[in-house]
Amino acid sequence: MLASTLFSLPPLPYPENALEPVISANTLSFHHGKHHKTYIETLNKLIKGTDYESSSLESIITETAGKADKMQVFNNAAQSWNHTFFWNSLKRGGGKPTGIIAQKLDADFGGYANFKKELANACVTQFGSGWGWLVAAGGKLKVVKTGNADVPFVKGQTPLLTIDVWEHAYYLDYQNRRADYVEAVIDKLLNWSFAEENLANA
Ligand code: MN
């Protein structure tokens, strides 16, 4: 049986080894090539022949959020979206932000060090699977965490960056040490120009 081609797996925005040593090529290969791909293929099967076939991913997510009978569609649509957003939230090099984002982190968190502590804490304390996020909401930057597939834009918050804290994101490289994975990602991989673009469109 041919897989549906409604949505397709976007290529990674960098080679699989680009995020080493923080995230190995092996992890990225499984995470993108198996996990992300499966969310998209499952979504395609679920929406084939329904009204969602002609919808954007964002509208499917918004329309199915919080509806018990649409939970499977929501979970697979949101995970498809979250992973593409996550790949773009990372880049080789990372480091501290400059410019408008740095100014806003100073204003809204009292500096980069406090922001970093807050994001790491959200990622580590998310019980079970989920995501840590930097979002813009009500003119301010905020750190939030979501469980499983949940995504902040259904609550009117604009995502700027995310970190996947599902075990599949780090287990091959860090085993149970989620805190070490999160700290390395924040220090070395965050793509602040992507955050700046998202802020400009907020
Ligand atoms: Mn994941």
Domain containing residue 171 = 99-200
- Tell me: do 68 and 136 sit in the same domain: no
- The alpha carbon of 165 and the centre of ligand 1 are apart by a number of angstroms equal to 7
Read off the CATH number of the domain in which 63 is found: 1.10.287.990
- Tell me: do 41 and 122 sit in the same domain: no
d(CA 27, CA 33) in angstroms, rounded, equals 10
d(CA 163, CA 145) in angstroms, rounded, equals 9
- Tell me: do 118 and 65 sit in the same domain: no
- The alpha carbon of 133 and the centre of ligand 1 are apart by a number of angstroms equal to 14
- The alpha carbon of 129 and the centre of ligand 1 are apart by a number of angstroms equal to 9
- Tell me: do 44 and 132 sit in the same domain: no
- The alpha carbon of 200 and the centre of ligand 1 are apart by a number of angstroms equal to 26
The 3-state DSSP class for residue 177 equals coil
d(CA 90, CA 16) in angstroms, rounded, equals 12
pLDDT at 4 over 50: no
Q: What are the φ/ψ torsions at residue 64 (nearest 5 degrees)?
A: -100, -10
- The alpha carbon of 97 and the centre of ligand 1 are apart by a number of angstroms equal to 24
d(CA 190, CA 89) in angstroms, rounded, equals 6
Of the given ranges (52-56, 81-85, 190-194), which has the lowest mean pLDDT?
A: 52-56
- Would 4 be classed as within a structural domain? no
- The alpha carbon of 141 and the centre of ligand 1 are apart by a number of angstroms equal to 24
- The alpha carbon of 35 and the centre of ligand 1 are apart by a number of angstroms equal to 7
d(CA 110, CA 23) in angstroms, rounded, equals 29
E strand or H helix at 97:
none
- Tell me: do 64 and 142 sit in the same domain: no
Beta-sheet strand order (sheet of 130-137): 140-147, 130-137, 158-164
- Tell me: do 115 and 187 sit in the same domain: yes
pLDDT at residue 2, as a whole number: 46
d(CA 52, CA 106) in angstroms, rounded, equals 42
Would you say 194 and 175 are in contact if contact means Cβ atoms under 8 Å apart? no
pLDDT at residue 202, as a whole number: 84
CB within 8 Å of 191: residues ≥ 6 apart = 88, 89, 90, 91, 94, 161
Q: Which residue has the higher pLDDT, 202 or 105?
A: 105
Place 166 in a pLDDT band, splitting at 50, 70 and 90: very high
- Tell me: do 79 and 114 sit in the same domain: no
User: What is the tally of structural domains in the chain?
Assistant: 2
Q: What is the DSSP letter of 33?
A: I
- Would 15 be classed as within a structural domain? no
pLDDT at residue 1, as a whole number: 42
- Tell me: do 56 and 143 sit in the same domain: no
CB within 8 Å of 147: residues ≥ 6 apart = 126, 127, 128, 129, 130
Mean pLDDT value across residues 69-98: 96
- The alpha carbon of 107 and the centre of ligand 1 are apart by a number of angstroms equal to 31
- The alpha carbon of 170 and the centre of ligand 1 are apart by a number of angstroms equal to 9
Q: Which of 42, 57, 88 is the last residue of a domain?
A: 88
pLDDT at residue 93, as a whole number: 87
pLDDT tens digits, residue range 26-45?
A: 999 999 999 999 999 999 99
- Tell me: do 124 and 32 sit in the same domain: no
- The alpha carbon of 72 and the centre of ligand 1 are apart by a number of angstroms equal to 16
Read off the CATH number of the domain in which 145 is found: 3.55.40.20
pLDDT at 148 over 90: yes
- Tell me: do 62 and 38 sit in the same domain: yes
pLDDT at residue 3, as a whole number: 42
User: pLDDT > 70: what percent of the chain?
Assistant: 98
- Tell me: do 125 and 175 sit in the same domain: yes
- Would 83 be classed as within a structural domain? yes
- The alpha carbon of 110 and the centre of ligand 1 are apart by a number of angstroms equal to 30
- Would 18 be classed as within a structural domain? no
pLDDT at 109 over 60: yes
- Tell me: do 41 and 134 sit in the same domain: no
